[in-house]
Amino acid sequence: MHKIVALIACTVFLALLTGCAALNNLTLNLPTEPTAINAEMGQPFTLSVGQTARIGLLRVTFVRVLEDSRCPIDVVCVWQGNVKVQLALTRLGQPGRRVSLNSTLNPTEIDFKGFSVSFVDIQPTPVSNHPIARRTYQVTLRVTSAEK
C-alpha cells in the first residue's frame, strides 16, 4: 500500500515540476502598463489612459475619462458637448493631487505647484452608434510655467 502512495506522490510531483517548467517558457499576452514619456515644457504631448508624462519635476498621469458628451461627427448638434478627464499631478518630493480638466467647460486648465496644465485635444472623435472603449482614449495636454 505504501508503494502505491509513494508512486502516486512521485507522479504528482513530476507532473507539477513539468508544468512549472512549461510555464517558464510560456509568454503570456497580459496587458502591460503604458510606458512613461518625456515631454517638453510648452509643447503638446499625448497620453493614453494610465500613461504618465515627465516634464521636469512634474509628473502628469491620464487616469480616466469621467464623462464624454461630445457631439458625434455624423450628427448635427446644437452644442458641441464636453469631455472631462481626470489627471493625477505630482511634483517630485511633494504630495500629488487628482484634478479634472474639460474640453469645453471650465476648467480647461489648472495651476499646480508652479505649473499650468492645459487641455488641448482628445481622441477618438465620437461616432453615433459606436461607443468608445475607455481604454482607447488619448488626451493631448500642454504644460507651461504658471509663474508669469
Q: State the CATH number of the domain containing residue 69.
A: 2.60.98
Instruction: Classify residue 5: in a domain, yes or no.
Output: no
51 close to 137: Cβ distance less than 8 angstroms: no
Residue 13 falls inside a structural domain: no
- Count of Cβ atoms closer than 10 Å to residue 53 Cβ: 21
Number of domains the chain contains: 1
Please indicate, yes or no, if residue 66 is contained in any of the structural domains.
yes
Dump pLDDT digits (tens) for 93-115.
899 999 999 999 999 999 999 99
Domain that holds residue 118: 37-145
> Which residue ranges in the chain fall short of pLDDT 70?
1-34, 148
CA angle 59, 112, 85 (to 5 degrees): 70
